[in-house]
A and B are shown apart, each in its own frame.
Chain A
C-alpha cells in the first residue's frame, strides 16, 4: 500500500515567493496533520483536519500560512509570502481515527529553503 505522499521533496525559492506544499494521505484515513520540523523547535503541529474539516489551526505561525483539504485525498499547505525563517522540513501525516487510538503515518517530508 502507498504511504503518505508529499511533494515536492525539496523546494528552494526566494523570499517573498508563494510556496505550496502538497500531501496525499493514505487511502481511507480521515485525519490529516501538517507538522514543521526545525533544529530549534523540533516537531511542531501546525494544523490538523478531520474528515476534511480543519479542527485546530492554533499551531499555524501566522496569517502567511494557510492550509486546505478540498477532498479526502489531497491537502495543501501554502506560505505567502515566504520568509527565510520558514525554512524547515514540513511533514504531512494521516491516521484513521475511528477508534481514537490509531497511530499517525508520516510522509517523507518537504525540505523547504527560503533564500
Chain B
C-alpha cells in the first residue's frame, strides 16, 4: 500500500540556518511527489512537485527538493531559513492516474528561532 512518512514531527532551526525536512514514500511505481506548506489558519500551498526528469526540483520561496529513487526519499531543503518559513510542511505522493489522488504524510512543524 502507498504511504508517506515524515519522521520529524517538530523541528526548530535558527533564522539563517539551513533546513532539511525528510520524506520517505512507499509506492510501487514512479510516484508523483509534492511538498505543501500550511500556515496557521490557512489551506495548503504547493511548494514544489516532481513528476519526472531532473531529480532536483526548484519551488517557490527558495525551496528545493531532491528525488532519490534508491532511498525512496524526497527531502525538502532551503539554504537559509527566514522567520516567515515557520509553518507546517506536508509531503504527499500522488497515485491513481488521471485523478491524482494524494496521500499525505503527517507533517513536520517548523519553528524558527531569531
B42 near A101: Cβ-Cβ < 8 Å: no
If A42-B106, A42-B107, A101-B51 touch, whether A106 touches B99 (CB-CB below 8 Å) is: no
If A43-B104, A101-B32, A103-B34 touch, whether A48 touches B99 (CB-CB below 8 Å) is: yes
* A108, CB-defined interface residue at 8 Å: yes
Q: Count residues on chain A whose CB falls below 8 Å from chain B CBs.
A: 25
If A91-B44, A105-B46, A106-B45 touch, whether A50 touches B99 (CB-CB below 8 Å) is: yes
Cα–Cα, bound, A105→B44 (Å): 8
- Across-interface contacts of B45 in A (CB, < 8 A): 106
- Across-interface contacts of B102 in A (CB, < 8 A): 33, 45, 104
Mask: chain B, 80-114; 1 = CB below 8 Å from A; 0 = not: 00000000001000100111111111110000000
Q: How many Å from the CB of A37 to the closest CB on chain B?
A: 9
Question: Which residue of A is nearest B36, CB measured?
Answer: A106
Q: How many Å from the CB of A91 to the closest CB on chain B?
A: 6
- Across-interface contacts of B49 in A (CB, < 8 A): 101, 103
Interface contacts beyond A97-B99, A106-B45: sample of 12 additional A-B pairs, CB < 8 Å, sorted by A: A43-B107, A56-B101, A93-B43, A93-B44, A95-B100, A98-B98, A101-B32, A101-B51, A103-B46, A108-B42, A108-B43, A109-B42
List chain A positions with a Cβ less than 8 A from chain B.
4, 31, 33, 42-43, 45, 48, 50, 55-56, 91, 93, 95, 97-98, 100-109
Q: List, sorted by A's number, 22 A–B pairs whose CB atoms are closer than 8 Å.
A: A4-B43, A31-B100, A42-B104, A42-B105, A42-B107, A43-B104, A43-B107, A50-B98, A55-B99, A91-B43, A97-B99, A97-B100, A100-B98, A100-B99, A101-B49, A103-B34, A103-B100, A104-B100, A105-B46, A106-B44, A108-B42, A108-B43
